[in-house]
Amino acid sequence: MNLGKNSIKNKKEMKRKEMKRILTVIVYIMISVFLIGTFISISCVGKVDKDVNEEKIRVVVSILPQAEFVERVGGDKVEVPVMVIVPPGASPHTYEPTPGQLEEISKAEIYAKVGSGIEFELAWMDKIIKMNEEMLVVDCARGVKFIAARYKYGEAVVYYEYNESDKAQSDLKGIDPHIWLSPANAKVMVENIYEGLIEIDPQSKEYYKKNLESYLSELDKVDDEIIQTFSGKKNKKIIVFHPTWAYFAKDYGIEQIPIEEGGKEPTAEGIRNSINQAKEYNLKVIFASPEFSTQSAKAIANEIDGEVVLVSPLEKNYVENIRKVARAFAGAME
Ligand SMILES: [Zn+2]
């Protein structure tokens, strides 16, 4: 009897314990569902924020005109302003990046190099690539026809064809690096930037394509305008302090007579040659740029009773600037 009573009591006890276990499990499941739900919604909110603020493509470029190229093609998909290594007023022939800039490069998705052998890139590109091996390096010069130049101070630059098969980084030293200063070359550079952007962000291809086409047509337009600007000019010669304008000169049939080369101060002979040439061709303007000293340009201008006009090869507003430069050159021609 007692045993029977006990067994009934035990059975009741067991049922109670089982109910308790089931309830505990249910509570655990409910808590888990709540926590997972909360977690998912938090991460969704996080993702939305990221889409808006952080998923822009970080692009680094060497020189200011490239920043306009990237911003125009990349639109609101790239972080703006695009980071430029060589700051306004500095020369890409001598510039060295700061530790802060190297830190920024290590966070970038794309580095768009000029690729034509400017000294800053020859000295730093390998180090930059090692610092951020995941980063896509876009060679803006891919497809640009390089020209090499033989300079003699104060005489017209002699250009000769550059051997395309020697187009290795180490062999770029003989070529003229200022490729971006012809709108035709700028078009090639912009297309290379477009290719880089769609490699990193293929789903926005249509967006980039539309931007690319609109900017290319602006470059075509300014190219036509420049041709008009020089039409009817007979004496298409310019005296420039630094021989920056080889590609521009070649495209528009201009002869550039440099006072110096490679950022070095001109020799006395170079200055004398420049003065003689200016007199011989009746040139009254010496073109210099804000990146270089204007001292010897002023000395020559004084000798010929002329003036120094500043034109910049490195302004960010590329299209506007190249139009301005063309007008300045044309204004000095007969
Ligand atoms: Zn230069």
Amino acid 151: pLDDT: 61
> Checking DSSP bridges between strand 255-258 and strand 59-61, what pairing results, if any?
unpaired
Q: How many angstroms separate the alpha carbon of residue 242 from the centre of ligand 1? A: 6
Identify residues whose C-beta is under 5 A from ligand 1, the ion. Answer: 244
Q: What is the pTM of this model?
A: 0.80
Q: Judge whether residue 28 has pLDDT over 80.
A: no
Which range has the worst mean pLDDT, 151-160, 239-248, 290-299? 151-160
State the pLDDT confidence band at 33, using cuts at 50, 70 and 90: low
Find, among 225, 196, 174, the residue nearest to 61 by Cα. Answer: 196
* Number of CB atoms found within 10 A of residue 98's CB: 11
Note the pLDDT of residue 47.
42
Between the CA of 86 and the centroid of ligand 1 the distance, in Å, is 12
Topology, domain 55-140+181-225: Rossmann fold (3.40.50)
Contact 286, 239 (CB under 8 A): yes
The alpha carbon dihedral of 120, 68, 314, 87 has a sign of negative
Centroid of ligand 1 to alpha carbon of 103 (angstroms): 26
- Per the DSSP assignment, residues forming a β-bridge with 263 are none
Residue extents of the structural domains in the chain: 55-140+181-225, 232-332
d(CA 309, CA 311): 7
Q: For residue range 95-104, what is the model confidence (pLDDT) as tens digits?
A: 999 999 999 9
The letter for the amino acid at 216 is L
* 3-state SS assignment for residue 291: coil
Distance (Å) from CA 92 to ligand 1 centroid: 7
CATH 3.40.1160.10 assigned to domain 232-332? The reply is: no
Domains 55-140+181-225 and 232-332 agree in fold: yes
- Most confidently predicted of 29-33, 75-79, 253-257: 75-79
| Predicted local distance difference test score (pLDDT) of residue 50 | 42
